[in-house]
Each structure stands twice: as C-alpha cells, then as structure tokens.
Amino acid sequence: MKEFFVSSYQKVATFRVAGNAKQGGNVASYFMTPRGSVVHVIAGPVDAETFLREARWAVETWKLVQLNAPKDMSRARLLMAKAHQDRLKKDPTYNTGWTPNTRGKANWAQVMRSNQNTILQRLGTEGKVHLLLATNPLPRLEQIYRYVFEKILNEKLSTAPVVKS
C-alpha cells in the first residue's frame, strides 16, 4: 500500500467511544490521483481481502487511463466512467437496462432527483459507488464526500466532537 498510496483521514461524522469500543460512525476509503481526483471509493468497512482487491483495481484502472489518455482529462474522465459502468453492470443488485450517461451530461445529483431513484434503491453500497463515479468520473473529493456519507452510507455529517463515556 505504501508504494502507491498515502493514508490520511478526516472525521466527518460523529460517534461515541464507550470504554474501548467505538459506537456509531462509518468509514469511506478514497483512492485518488496525485492531483486530487477520486479514482475509486470503498464505502463502509470491508475485510482486508476486499480492500486489497479494490485498491488493485483502482491502481490498475488508473494506469490504463494514464496509458490511453496521458494528457487529456476529458478522455480520462470518459475512460474512468466506462470502467465504473462496467463494474456497475457486474453488480448482482444491478438488474436493469438503464445505463449511466458517460458523456458527463448527467451527474450524481441529477440521478438522485430523477426517476432512476428506484435503481438506487435496488443497488448495494458498491453499486451506488460505481453509479456515482460512472456519472461523475474523476471528481474532486470535496465534490462527492457528502454524497458518499449521506446518500450511500446513510450517515449525517457532523462537526461535533467525539463523545467519550
């Protein structure tokens, strides 16, 4: 992990610490380019095997994008949208013919307001992440972290301090 990533964190939700146990809260892992664009997200806690699989997918997909669009951010966005769309189609909870717009004309907020909301209800967490990044490829973290926490993880953002009891 140290070869490809730098670890960081920011608390955006609240939780309680009772003894040695954390109660409440959630986690999202973001795989980003050196310039701050989000390549992939793991929403929620996962085991080490899943984390490693998703990290490898993020690294290999980004390498392919750089190979095919080294200086063309528009093409890079199209390629990333296609990669997430392909993963979305493989999600077992995704069983509809609807295809996210990979030309950048639809974004996550539009999807949330649209009649595609029933699709969101059927998708699992992983599918929702791929839908988000298929409709909004290579976003900046500040553009999507709120959606990840509020719409995918169903958590409320909070600036309240951690409560210890």
CB 156 within 8 A of CB 13: yes
To 10 degrees, the CA torsion angle through 112, 36, 156, 96?
30
What does the pLDDT look like over 2-46, one tens digit per residue?
676 777 666 566 656 667 765 556 889 999 998 899 999 999 989
Q: Give the H/E segment covering residue 77.
A: helix 73-90
- Read off the pLDDT band of 143 (50, 70, 90): very high
pLDDT attached to residue 104:
47
Helices (H) then strands (E): counts for the chain: 6, 5
Which stretches of the chain are assigned E, i.e. beta strand? 16-18, 21-23, 28-32, 38-43, 163-164
What does the pLDDT look like over 58-116, one tens digit per residue?
999 999 999 999 999 999 999 999 999 899 888 766 655 555 554 544 555 565 555 45
